[in-house]
């Protein structure tokens, strides 16, 4: 087996960049560093990143993680990236636009023909929806957060940059161009553009969809396997990152597929829940499964030939961050809030601070605090926020189980599960024990490293993933479970009751 001492794995998240040196033999993160991910919100509903600022933050995180470790010991480099971003690159790989992130909603309602016409179901034009479902296994959301919507927006609003662009890519393409010069992408990122034919366990750009939505096929990046080497690290990038030039850069996968591998839950009916800035529920399958009504779909996974069924929700840890900021509390308060009884003494919150995808596809949904009284204090708000995220997960889990079957195990990954109090609330809300992986905040980083390690060692990816260590198990509390089952019905009713109010408030914001 080829020698592989360490891998440098870099996780490009929405709010932070994490770089870690991962031991190929133990999968332990022996050194890590974190930098804030620069984000800008120039207009209502816009969320973008300056490529130069982002690269500087990546380089700083890489050099910090490498302190005390010889670059000569790094056998390879791999990146985990958030999905559904879009950036235009010229023939030299230079950026013609900011990176439009997955959070961005400027392309709401695009492409128009997908949502217009006399024959509709769930807001979609039926013929167009059926075409997307048959070819891609999914369809763009009305929120405008999907790459196809953003590409159409760029064509209509940035025509000069669009014409000059040599490559229309996402964050994975951008980072591979920066490090190797190769304008490539991974199957999961290609899948989520809704421009790829993803039948039979692989991704190929669809000529039919590209032609229908007037997107030049030649501008889309080459789709490689997560287990391919994209190229050798360029000398200029190596100098910035503090690495030796020429080491292999593994294609890897997006954050969702990387975290799935990092959870170690890679077999049938092995579910994982990720709780970070956002949250999702995932499970690997051999079939492309879909629930259009509740916006649950399948992405090609990091394991070639398989899919990852995903129920993604927009806001999780971001709600906690917001509550802590406005109350002046810190993360220690999550454990303090655990002393408050389940149900937060009659206080209920919702986590929809940036719209929602699953189980309701609604860009207008917003956060609510209901039942507030003089008896409630700051810690009640913290507890209600943790419960809001957990109830939202439980709401989506109902539809995941209907689609993909009952879990035989459930793993927890993401920074949210560093809080044992929050993990206990999630377990009590979904009604199952949750096995929390060791150092859960590094799940995407570790998962990307597992992918790279399997490539560099020439070993089986599933076998490598089975070595992911478990930290502890969060078990449901029987009394809390009873409360949350009742509260979930109230939670769902809040959305049903306030749907028209959310739309009216959206009109006011637009005005």
* Same-domain status, 407 and 314: yes
Residue 82 in any domain: the answer is yes
* Same-domain status, 317 and 454: yes
* Same-domain status, 109 and 16: yes
Residue at which a domain ends, from 219, 236, 252: 252
Contacts of 206 by beta carbon, 8 Å cutoff, 6+ apart: 135, 136, 195, 196, 197
Q: Which residues of the chain have pLDDT under 50?
A: none
* Same-domain status, 246 and 262: no
The closest of 237, 127, 243, 102 to 182, measured between CA atoms, is 237
Determine the pLDDT at residue 361. Answer: 86
* Same-domain status, 97 and 66: yes
pLDDT in tens, 33-54: 999 999 999 999 999 999 999 9
Structure tokens at 149: 């919507």
Gap between the Cα atoms of 472 and 417, Å rounded: 10
* Same-domain status, 411 and 272: yes
Alpha-helical runs (H) found in 158-254: 159-164, 171-180, 187-191, 207-212, 235-241
Residue 112 in any domain: the answer is yes
Determine the pLDDT at residue 233. Answer: 98
Number of domains observed in the structure of the chain = 2
Residue 1 in any domain: the answer is no
* Same-domain status, 316 and 236: no
What CA–CA distances, in Å, run from 383 to 104, 333, 497?
29, 9, 23
Residue at which a domain ends, from 252, 277, 311: 252
Domain containing 303 equals 258-510
483, 488, 489, 495: CA torsion to nearest 10: 140
Structure tokens at 34: 């974190």
Residue 205 in any domain: the answer is yes
* Same-domain status, 235 and 332: no
Gap between the Cα atoms of 440 and 417, Å rounded: 6
CATH number for the domain spanning 379: value is 3.30.420.40
pLDDT in tens, 417-460: 999 999 999 999 999 999 999 999 999 999 999 999 999 999 99
Residue 426 in any domain: the answer is yes
Residue 371 in any domain: the answer is yes
* Same-domain status, 420 and 469: yes
* Same-domain status, 151 and 180: yes
Determine the pLDDT at residue 1. Answer: 55
Residue 169 in any domain: the answer is yes
* Same-domain status, 14 and 112: yes
* Same-domain status, 171 and 273: no
Name the pTM for this structure.
Answer: 0.91
Determine the pLDDT at residue 363. Answer: 86
Residue at which a domain ends, from 220, 252, 284: 252
């Amino acid at each position: 087996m080829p020698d592989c001492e360490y891998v440098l794995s870099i996780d490009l998240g929405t709010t932070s960049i994490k770089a870690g040196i991962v031991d190929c033999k133990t999968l332990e993160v022996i050194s890590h560093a974190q930098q804030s991910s620069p984000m800008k919100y120039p207009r209502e509903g816009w969320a973008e990143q300056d490529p130069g600022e982002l690269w500087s933050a990546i380089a700083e995180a890489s050099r910090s993680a490498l302190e005390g470790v010889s670059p000569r010991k790094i056998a390879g480099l791999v990146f985990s990236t958030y999905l559904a971003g879009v950036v235009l690159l010229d023939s030299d790989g230079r950026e013609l636009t900011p990176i439009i992130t997955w959070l961005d909603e400027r392309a709401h309602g695009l492409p128009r023909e997908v949502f217009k016409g006399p024959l509709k179901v769930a807001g979609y034009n039926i013929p167009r929806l059926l075409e997307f479902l048959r070819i891609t296994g999914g369809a763009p959301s009305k929120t405008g957060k999907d790459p196809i919507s953003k590409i159409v927006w760029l064509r209509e609003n940035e025509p000069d940059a669009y014409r000059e662009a040599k490559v229309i890519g996402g964050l994975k393409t951008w980072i591979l161009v920066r490090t190797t010069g190769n304008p490539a992408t991974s199957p999961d990122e290609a899948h989520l553009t809704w421009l790829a034919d993803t039948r039979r366990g692989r991704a190929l750009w669809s000529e039919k969809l590209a032609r229908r939505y007037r997107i030049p096929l030649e501008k889309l990046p080459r789709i490689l396997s997560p287990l391919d080497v994209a190229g050798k690290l360029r000398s200029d990038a190596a100098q910035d990152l503090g690495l030796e030039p020429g080491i292999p850069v593994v294609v890897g996968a997006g954050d969702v597929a990387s975290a799935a591998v990092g959870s170690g839950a890679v077999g049938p009916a092995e579910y994982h829940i990720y709780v970070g800035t956002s949250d999702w529920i995932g499970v690997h399958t051999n079939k492309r499964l879909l629930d259009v009504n509740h916006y649950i779909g399948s992405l090609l996974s990091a394991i070639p030939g398989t899919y990852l069924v995903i129920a993604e929700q927009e806001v999780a840890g971001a709600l906690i961050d917001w509550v802590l900021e406005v109350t002046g509390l810190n993360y220690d308060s999550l454990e303090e809030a655990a002393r408050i009884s389940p149900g937060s003494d009659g206080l209920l919150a919702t986590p929809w601070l940036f719209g929602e995808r699953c189980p309701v596809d609604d860009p207008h949904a917003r956060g609510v605090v209901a039942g507030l009284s003089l008896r409630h204090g700051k810690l009640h708000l913290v507890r209600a926020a943790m419960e809001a995220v957990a109830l939202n997960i439980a709401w989506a889990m109902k539809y995941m189980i209907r689609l993909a079957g009952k879990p035989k195990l459930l793993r927890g990954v993401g920074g949210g599960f560093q809080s044992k109090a929050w993990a206990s609330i999630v377990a009590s809300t979904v009604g199952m024990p949750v096995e929390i992986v060791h150092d859960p905040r590094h799940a995407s980083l570790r998962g990307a490293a597992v992918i790279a390690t399997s490539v560099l060692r020439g070993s089986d990816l599933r076998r490598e993933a089975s070595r992911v260590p478990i930290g502890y198990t969060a078990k449901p509390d029987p009394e809390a479970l009873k409360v949350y089952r009742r509260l979930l019905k109230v939670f769902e009713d809040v959305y049903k009751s306030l749907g028209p109010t959310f739309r009216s408030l959206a009109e006011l914001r637009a005005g």
